[in-house]
Structure 1
């Protein structure tokens, strides 16, 4: 699967001052400004609030937004590299043509978020909650998603190649037509309707049999 890359400008304005970022984020919150064509680099925030932050054609590099409120944000054509979003709240945030590379997002909240044409590579989403999240044309490559929760999610034209779903939970989240042969499924919890139609290996099928009360007897 090929995911369109973010439409990024040829030149950026560096944004490396925390106070300047906070002021521009405030203007975005008030609906007065979209952050456009900037490169946000090496900024660090903890438990800060940036709701409804609007980003367009932006690079975010080596930044830390730990435990921050990023809910209701609207991000299009944004590239995230080597960032830490652990404990952040992305509730009702919209992502379009975004990419995440080498990012950490442990224990994040994605409830009611919408992701369209988003590529994730070498990222860690352990213990994150994707309840009621809509993902369309998204690629997770070499990503860690152990103990994540996907409740009542919509996954359309998505791929997880390869990824780690150890101990993850899927409920009312159809995985039909997904190729899971390169996904680590140890300890997966899921309902029958979620798994129906997913493509797995024979070994994976045997590992998943316990979910439906089946016992695999030796030949």
Structure 2
């Protein structure tokens, strides 16, 4: 079982394992809110585009304390050349999209998976559908209908999970803190397994 340590400490000790989680996705897809709710316990009411942010926390897993570093990345094209630096030493990557944004969903296959696969070959991936509370938002669904679109379904997410060889597809609402802890519990568990497989190597990712 993985459980977050209250006021998770930064720093490391010889007894403590460390894992690095990188989160990517289109700008505004909800990835920063997901990280903020998990790491800080609060939902950011105003959207502010991220550049590069790093959060440190601790969890207990199997009775041991695990240091977790979370890397939030910029989804905008302006940062395409800098973002790969965040992939250094990644033990797991979370690819996020907004379930009410077909464009952000399409970009999982068009942009994010190819980029992650290039810079992090062999690193496990979780696919995350964000903002599930907006599936029932009348204004959002009305806008989609006017464009001949609809919210992305759970089944569509599952299908894409298989196409990108992700280990899991999970959905969440950061605003209502639904499934947030579950996502990072699975992420830490799978990142630990990957880290232990490559513990003799210095880097899990190669930046070219």
Q: Structure 1 or 2: larger helix share?
A: 2
Q: Which has the higher contact order (CA 8 A, sep 6+)?
A: 2
Q: Say whether the fold is shared (TM-score over 0.5).
A: no
TM-score (norm 1): 0.25
More strand by proportion, 1 or 2? 1
TM-score scaled by length of structure 2: 0.26
